[in-house]
Chains A and B, each alone.
Chain A
Amino acid sequence: MNRPSWTAIAVDRTRVELKEFFRSKEQMIFIFAFPLIFMALFGAIFGGEEVAQGVSFAQYFLAGMIATGIMNTGFQSLALGLATDRDQDILKRLHGTPLPTTAFFAGRLATALLVSIVQLAALIVLGVVAYDITIPTTADAWLTFTWVFLLGTGASVVLGIAVSSLLRNARAGSAILTPVTLFLQFISGVFIVYSQVPSFLQNVAAVFPLKWLAQGMRSVFLPPEFEVAEVSGSWQHGPTAIIMGVWFVVGTIWAVRSFRWQRPEDK
């Protein structure tokens, strides 16, 4: 008897998830084409306008699209994918095997991280080629990018898993999640410059991770002079880490407690 290790199983689950992801056209289009198309579209419409001295809207928007991309992959796409898999008894089938729940979650998280890296690389390349965005060169900036990226993906994934258990089925999920994410995108400084969002909506946005994820990415991809143009006059790295961290912890507990392998009527 040679029981496979937890790590071996988590790695193999990641492999399966990646295979399935890259074979699913709908997912590929949503995750890869959607942010690039939006980037190109907004770039074409507002690209020339300046958000602040020396910062074009396209530059500002790139940081927002990176944040949105992370949320699309980790939260929306994952939650819908889980809801579909639950609907189709795919999760139930897995529940009938020795697969440890945590290894299953780890596979989903690793998949979201890897897919996001590819997606962000594509966005950054587009930004550099088409919109004169300069890639940060300091180790500091990349360190910031790394923790913002990891915390943002982590929070998105655990919340995606948690929310998936609220969705009765995949079709309902799409109808519920799309408006929610769109709303967050509009008020969190993705499609609209955050300082131009009415302050009561800024306060709403500040509760959720997307605003902090976008701001964190701006601190990486916008010139340091832009910091004063932020609403608070600061990149707020401390609060960013704390708020996304709290969402990650709360989301993890919520995900573990609410997770269902089977359809709600099936228990």
Chain B
Amino acid sequence: MSTAIEVAGLRKVYGDKPAVDGLDLEIRTGEVFALLGPNGAGKSTTVEILEGFRQRNGGEVSVLGHDPAHPTREWRERLGIMLQSTSDQFLLTPREAITHMGRLYPNPRSADELLHAVGLDDKADAKPRTLSGGMRRRLDVALALVGRPELVFLDEPTTGFDPEARRQFWSLIESLRDDNITVVLTTHYLDEAEYLADRIAIINAGQVAALDTPGGLRARATDAVVTWRENGEERREVTATPTATLRELLATTEGEIEDLSVVKPSLEDVYFQIIGGAQ
């Protein structure tokens, strides 16, 4: 499998404070790759270096076979970038914005196709001021996709979305996977990373603290939580062997066990474990 992005020993210093401190990463062609991490962990800095917006202080970086420190037009044609920020000073309608942006690329997607893909068909010619925040974000996605990129960066794409809009957005990203487009997603939402990503890197203190599939990350937590009610009192047991706990319970209890549940640890539990453990 070929690689879309290779990063080795990446360093970025602000003043004398390292924001990225020897980060290694390899992202494969065609995968949806999520970067998770607390604010200030270095994930935005890393992504902006990959996008060719920031200069690094050290390390080797290759994005689609090119060093992003020296962006060229040909390289930019193969990328799609959705920034974290969205402008409220927009003066073009969604259709105009997509059409004009498309004219910068050799083989752009049509505005109609994209507007449909992001669910803005009926807002195609709407005054920009009438678009909601979520609609503008979807327009941002469309703009990132207009040049038929091989690699797309999505920086916190669903911040401020309602649950329904988030679901719609997710299915849009899944359709990208079908086109064999590499997607690099930064997000604060663990459920989003878990749902969309093939692999997740958890960034902490400027390094990759963990890198695995969502299932692999979840499996790192060995303990399960068994809860039930006994004589009206809530009982809770954290155990590496929930089956044994259950067996014991069944042997000692007559009839139904009240409010019985066995909960496997969530990705969130693992996340906090990794973040906490690395600090």
Instruction: Please classify how large the interface on chain A is, using the bins under 10, 10 to 19, 20 to 34, 35 or more.
Output: 20 to 34
* Pairwise interchain contact B106-A92, C-beta atoms closer than 8 A: no
* Pairwise interchain contact B103-A97, C-beta atoms closer than 8 A: no
* Pairwise interchain contact A98-B85, C-beta atoms closer than 8 A: no
B225 interface residue (CB < 8 Å to A): no
B4 interface residue (CB < 8 Å to A): no
Q: List A1-47 residues whose CB lies under 8 Å from chain B.
A: 1-4, 8-9, 12, 15-16, 19-20, 23-24
Of B89-97, B171-179, B182-190, the stretch lying at the interface with chain A is B89-97
Would A92 and B107 be within 8 Å (CB), given that A15-B100, A98-B73, A98-B77 are in contact? Answer: no
* Pairwise interchain contact B103-A96, C-beta atoms closer than 8 A: no
* Pairwise interchain contact B53-A84, C-beta atoms closer than 8 A: no
- By a CB distance below 8 angstroms, the chain A residues around B104 are 4, 9, 97-99
Q: List A80-97 residues whose CB lies under 8 Å from chain B.
A: 84-85, 88-90, 92-93, 95-97
B105 interface residue (CB < 8 Å to A): yes
* Pairwise interchain contact A12-B100, C-beta atoms closer than 8 A: yes
Would A267 and B55 be within 8 Å (CB), given that A4-B103, A92-B83, A96-B79 are in contact? Answer: yes
Most interface-central of A3, A85, A90, A93 (chain B CB within 10 A): A93
What are the interface flags for B43-75 relative to A under an 8 Å C-beta threshold, 1 for contact and 0 otherwise?
000000001111100000000000000000110
Query: Residue on A with the closest CB to B76?
Result: A98
Q: How far is the CA of A150 from the CA of B76 in the complex (A)?
A: 33
* Pairwise interchain contact B105-A98, C-beta atoms closer than 8 A: yes
B157 interface residue (CB < 8 Å to A): no
B30 interface residue (CB < 8 Å to A): no
Most interface-central of A1, A20, A98 (chain B CB within 10 A): A98
A100 interface residue (CB < 8 Å to B): yes
- By a CB distance below 8 angstroms, the chain A residues around B103 are 4, 8-9, 12
Q: How far is the CA of A20 from the CA of B100 in the complex (A)?
A: 12
A262 interface residue (CB < 8 Å to B): yes
- By a CB distance below 8 angstroms, the chain B residues around A99 are 104
8 A-B pairs with least C-beta separation: A96-B81, A98-B76, A20-B91, A98-B73, A23-B91, A88-B87, A89-B85, A98-B77
13 examples of A-B residue contacts, CB within 8 angstroms: A4-B103, A12-B100, A12-B103, A19-B92, A20-B92, A84-B89, A89-B85, A90-B87, A95-B53, A96-B83, A97-B76, A97-B105, A267-B55
